[in-house]
Structure 1
């Protein structure tokens, strides 16, 4: 008797019934919960997530409280994993199949509406719909049809999960430079040297920025930037000095300097795995004075001295701006402001040249409206450009930069934790020793 087509069809994957996921409540408390493994519907895919980064937005009180109005929610939107199943009738895009190792965006546009035709993908109504269910900090997640078709990307062969984890945040940096109208040869200043400040500086370098200044008060983060991408360091780190800039989430104290063989201060290595056990130790001079910085892409190349400047006592935003002008002849063509709030934004405006561009990279809380120096902005014709999230073109450019090593994923992921220690990982993000914290699922 002839075998039927149905009996010849390969059996689908055997999926578990339950999975673990990390949830946040309205007070920012993290818990591990068990929940059913979701099943993909028509047009969808199921991904076994293997790693997810923690974004600093997951620490914002107003953001978490808004997301948790309906109860604890699965957080995380920087995931990577492997496709394990497709829903009924799903036609995956070329290059994706069961077993593909992928980056998955948590949002994607329809590619057909008026916003998409303008290239304003983050304003597409479909983009606003959840694209990763229940979220990135879970062992399994369903990928919505628009995300599967337009922003699920196969990872390069041999790439670690950290490459996939960093696609979304690096894409946000790509989007910011694109929104600013960046051109090769520009002089760029980055305010704040947390993870996103480092990503912005690395992308600016890869795209041909002629000069790249970093402004922060944390010596370890400044040293990291000086070694990888910065050509000028402005250290505002004297605690209590007017005009000091808070860099990174929380604006906490800097990394504890450690003495090196040549007598300079050096940063403690931030590479931790599971429970905070150091994975290695590295040191670099943090000034004041010159710092040896790599000039090749991704941290390699010839070492050259990077000027390390400190404003004097009582210095304000204008003093920092004068340092740029003294070095470059005028202010920055582009200033990328990563901390939220009025003080960093005013500093960014002061550091821009006449006719320059200032990117507001981080949101303020609802109802918090920073005052800007309107007279100065008007007569110096400063362009203020907000930059929110990223679209499909940005993620592809980000993956290319990561694959080429121009954005060194393994170095930027400074701490790794298993899902069982996700609460510790969440707290680690607030530590100035951390750049990107990744949870392995």
Structure 2
């Protein structure tokens, strides 16, 4: 079989790999669509994964072989599958902090989503794989995992009808978060980015107002929008550490800041007095967990998440490097980029 294999940021090879063999409780999946995630781009460009890694984890495909003991699925089933599984019994899992579980990061698909065929381990078959309804396409199925990640972040925020939300970053994740915030009856949804195309798309997906932070002052604009009060919730969906300072200057008293995107390991200055005086909450969100997937699938199936409007580019698996360049380039009108065999 063929796979797109990482060697370094300038060397992604489309090469032959051995066909995975499956064991008891496992399935062999033919990849039909795999989404390109911002973390995939980060791992390639910052070279944070070992050579010969096959990335990709937003997977939808067709089951072509089932192992002994698999009863809920049959050959030919159309499915989505996610890549990490918690143990459900450790200190963190008992407190519903599933993504902090030690086993969580140790589990994965083999070899990864950017390959023609994928071995789905038994734990994943049991906990992170689900059938796609007839009216859900493979492209929509590939969005189950990223939507689930957004839902995991929203679990930590008490968004009430009428609340105001500021989303920093209007990429694929920011546009998903706009749609979820609208579904949760947020009163005002403001979006900041430096890409005019993505700001235009934010309005299309339901943002109340947008601003280009390259040409406008974020704090001044937010205070103008909110009559000097600030917003109830800020979601940081771009991996820029300085946005935490910006967020703390824009959130109102008693508000919440969700750090959704990964930051580099660097020190930044923040107005720390606000924690005590204004009772602010700053929380982080990493990945998704098995209890998010059914909700994510329902949001897609019912049209709350408009996947077809989000997909801007499709690349064959042999062109993963071009797909990454497209998704990362500020000159491209790119939102959601998909890979197909």
| TM-score normalized with structure 2 length | 0.94
Aligned to 2:19: 37
Asked if the contact 1:28/1:64 (under 8 Å) is kept, the reply is no
| Deviation sequence 1:77-112 (CA, Å, 0-9, x none) | 11110111122x3234x4x22211111101122333
Which residue among 296, 299, 303 is the counterpart of 1:405? 303
Aligned to 1:107: 84
Aligned to 2:53: 73
Q: Higher mean Cα deviation, 122-131 or 430-439?
A: 122-131
Deviation at 1:387, TM superposition (A): 0.6
Aligned to 2:30: 48
Deviation at 1:423, TM superposition (A): 2.1
| Structure 1 residue runs without a partner (length 5+) | 1-18, 239-310
Cα distance change on mapping 1:119 and 1:35 into 2, 3 Å: same
Deviation at 1:231, TM superposition (A): 1.2
1:396 aligns with 2:294: yes
Which residue among 159, 166, 174 is the counterpart of 1:189? 166
Q: State the Cα RMSD in Å.
A: 1.8
Cα distance change on mapping 1:62 and 1:417 into 2, 3 Å: closer
Aligned to 1:90: 69
Deviation at 1:39, TM superposition (A): 0.8
Cα distance change on mapping 1:216 and 1:66 into 2, 3 Å: closer
Alignment of 1:93-242 (within 5 A): 94=72, 96-238=73-215
Which residue among 263, 268, 275 is the counterpart of 1:370? 268
Asked if the contact 1:23/1:33 (under 8 Å) is kept, the reply is yes
Aligned to 1:437: 337
Asked if the contact 1:101/1:154 (under 8 Å) is kept, the reply is yes
Aligned to 1:415: 313
SS at match of 2:158: coil
Cα distance change on mapping 1:142 and 1:62 into 2, 3 Å: closer
1:320 aligns with 2:221: yes
SS at match of 2:64: strand
For these two proteins, the number of residue pairs brought into alignment is 339
SS at match of 1:368: coil
Asked if the contact 1:26/1:64 (under 8 Å) is kept, the reply is no
| TM-score normalized with structure 1 length | 0.73
Asked if the contact 1:342/1:372 (under 8 Å) is kept, the reply is no
Asked if the contact 1:22/1:74 (under 8 Å) is kept, the reply is yes
Cα distance change on mapping 1:440 and 1:57 into 2, 3 Å: same
Aligned to 1:289: none
Deviation at 1:28, TM superposition (A): 4.8
Deviation at 1:44, TM superposition (A): 1.3
Deviation at 1:402, TM superposition (A): 0.8
Asked if the contact 1:54/1:76 (under 8 Å) is kept, the reply is yes
Alignment of 1:218-367 (within 5 A): 218-238=195-215, 311=216, 315=217, 317-326=218-227, 330-365=229-264, 367=265
| Structure 2 residue runs without a partner (length 5+) | none
SS at match of 1:41: coil
